[in-house]
Amino acid sequence: MNRTADQETGTLNRRAALASVGVATLLLGLKGYAALVSGSVAMLASLADTGLDLVASVVTLYGVHVAAQRADEHHRFGHGKAESLAALFQVALIAASAVAIAARAVMALLHATPTASPEAGIVASIVAAAATLALLAYQRAVIARTRSVAIGADHLHYKSDLALNGAVVLALALDRYAGLTGVDALFGLLIALWLGWGAWTSATHAIDQLMDREWPEEKRRAFLDLAATIPAMAGMHDLRTRTSGAHDFAQFHMSFPAETTIGVAHMVMEDIETRLTAAFPGLEVLIHPDPVGHVDQEGALPKAIAERSEI
């Protein structure tokens, strides 16, 4: 990808992130008013989720900005892990909010009282769903052009918000029109549990990146399947992979006949890198050439890992 394409991608991703921040800010004010008027626990939980959406969108904006920065002399592998650090901060906020909402929901269940003005919450949730749908459509268009991992994650988060807004509408409607007083608090508790699960999932993903965990088996297998179609990679071994922010890294050893010149080996490796990066956008490949029959002694992978790395 050339510099002009990089700049265009960065611009599109920043616009999508700014749109996300704008929608989250609008919904935060709308739901804040509805929660204040209705006194609904489910609406309060939805408000907390929107507040977290705003934080997530700001983090995404920051992550996209950092991801667009080129590697420098102090960060030779780029700045991708800044996204994971920001995600852990985000997780702490989500977990704290989930605990507070759950406590409020339990108190409301013990002292059940009708919701003051459920209509305000219903209208706010419907408007929120409409705004979220518009944002999702725009994000899909950007992702199709940039394949941004950060925007893609934000897109998935807002897709789940559609279900959340629907749950709030259902809870308030049952409270108002079916007379089920405790259902609002019950839905608030369920939303708190859902937020807690989201925090756990996000934390796991962020820690995996910080610890340089290997790619998921499906992705790793896809890489090996592609490698198997390239004749020159028949001598590939010791594959290692990791992900940092929106960037993937793969390094491995390749066997060459002893008489192969450095120039020829370089040309072969460049061709391989071109094919791999075309299939895996955002991938950085590092290839170490070995003479046929060479076996690494120091720093070699354990036998079980080496066997899994072979094609």
Cα 272–chain centre separation: 28
Q: What is the b/e burial string over 50-85, where b = at least 16 CB atoms within 10 angstroms of the residue's CB? A: bbbbbbbbbbbbebbbbbbeeeeeeeeebbbbbbbe
- pLDDT tens for 17-29 read 889 889 989 989 9
pLDDT, residue 5, reads 56
pLDDT, residue 220, reads 92
As beta bridge partners, residue 284 has 249
Residue scoring higher pLDDT (66 or 280): 280
Confidence band, pLDDT 50/70/90 cuts, at residue 131: very high
Q: Long-range contacts: 301-306, Cβ < 8 Å, 24+?
A: 301/238, 301/240, 306/237, 306/238
The predicted model gives 153-160 an average pLDDT of: 72
Q: Are strands 247-256 and 283-291 parallel, antiparallel or unpaired?
A: parallel
pLDDT, residue 135, reads 92
Residue scoring higher pLDDT (120 or 307): 120
Tokens for 288?
């170490």
Confidence band, pLDDT 50/70/90 cuts, at residue 268: very high
Between the alpha carbon of residue 101 and those of residues 23, 29, 108, 116, 186, the distances in Å are: 23, 19, 10, 18, 11
Q: Which one of 3.40.1080.20, 3.10.105.10, 3.60.40.10, 3.30.70.1350 gives the CATH number of domain 217-309? A: 3.30.70.1350
* All residues at 6 or more sequence positions from 198 whose CB lies less than 8 Å from its CB, including other chains: 94, 160
| pLDDT of 302 higher than 60 | no
| pLDDT of 134 higher than 70 | yes
Which residue ranges make up each domain of the chain? 3-210, 217-309
Question: What does the DSSP assignment read for 83-112?
Answer: HHHHHHHHHHHHHHHHHHHHHHHHHHHHT-
| pLDDT of 69 higher than 80 | no
Quick one: 3-210 is in which CATH superfamily? Cation efflux protein transmembrane domain (1.20.1510.10)
